[in-house]
Amino acid sequence: MALRIEQFPVLNDNYGYLVRDETSGKVACVDTPDADAIAAALDRLGWSLDLILNTHWHPDHAGGNEALKARYGSTIYGPQEVTRIAPLDHPVTAGDTVDLGEAQFTVMDVGGHTLQHIAYHDARDAVAFVGDSIFPLGCGRMFEGDPVQMWSGLSRIAALPDETKLYCAHEYTAANARFALSVDDAPALKARAEAVFAARERGEWTVPSTVAEEKATNPFLRAPLLAERMGLAGHSDPEVFAAVRKAKDGFKG
């Protein structure tokens, strides 16, 4: 049986995720942006919380660990860096696996936004929880890592099967689309951007997306194809990626 995923908006623009293995009834949350909102969602569903899976240490991802663990006795998995601000029971790194009943998540290194940022990939259900590493039409700001590290992480995400659903932690897609259109004129991007603007006008979520959609339209994954446009023909992929990232950081759309 499959994984059931409950998605709900929290804080200004975060998404909270509860994930239930329908066979065993085991439940995990991915990141803890808001302990009260997560507890309210668990109450509404009649679920407890077995596991907490952190993607990185930022407070809108690990800030609710302590309160949720106190309330539910949950076991917390995440990168070691989480201990900067929150409790952690089991540090995990790339290649480790975390079982949720019959579902299994493989830990991927997607560092760069923070040094130890990880994603959780469930191949059986074709889903990945990617935190702030990649967003629809965007990627996380490179706060701690360097372009080589961040490009490597994004490349690992791009190498997942096309149909893999990417569950990221924020609804930034409309702003990302405006930037993407400023650096790339791919027809698929124009069509997707229009669909995104229309969806947001209707108040709809644009998360999750898929690996196939991001490979076709995300300007960060497409960085090598934008080298000439960025004035960087002949430069390495991480160098072009870094230029696109820098352009986004300064973009006033």
Instruction: Point out which residues bind Zn ion (CB under 5 A).
Output: 58, 132
Residue number, 143 or 182, with CB nearest to Zn ion: 143
Residue number, 103 or 118, with CB nearest to Zn ion: 118
Considering the candidates 21, 31, 50, 61, report the single residue annotated as catalytic.
61
Considering the candidates 50, 122, 132, 184, report the single residue annotated as catalytic.
132
Asked, as a colleague might, if the bond just before 187 is cis with ω within 30 of 0, I would say no
Shortest Cβ distance from residue 163 to Zn ion (Å)?
26
Shortest Cβ distance from residue 112 to Zn ion (Å)?
11
Concerning whether 184 is annotated as a catalytic residue, the answer is no
Concerning whether 121 is annotated as a catalytic residue, the answer is no
Residue number, 114 or 206, with CB nearest to Zn ion: 114
Considering the candidates 34, 50, 58, 109, report the single residue annotated as catalytic.
58
Concerning whether 58 is annotated as a catalytic residue, the answer is yes
Shortest Cβ distance from residue 58 to Zn ion (Å)?
4
Concerning whether 56 is annotated as a catalytic residue, the answer is yes
Residue number, 3 or 32, with CB nearest to Zn ion: 32
Phi, psi of 90 (to 5 degrees): -130, 100
Shortest Cβ distance from residue 130 to Zn ion (Å)?
11
Q: Which residues are catalytic?
A: 56, 58, 60-61, 113, 132, 170
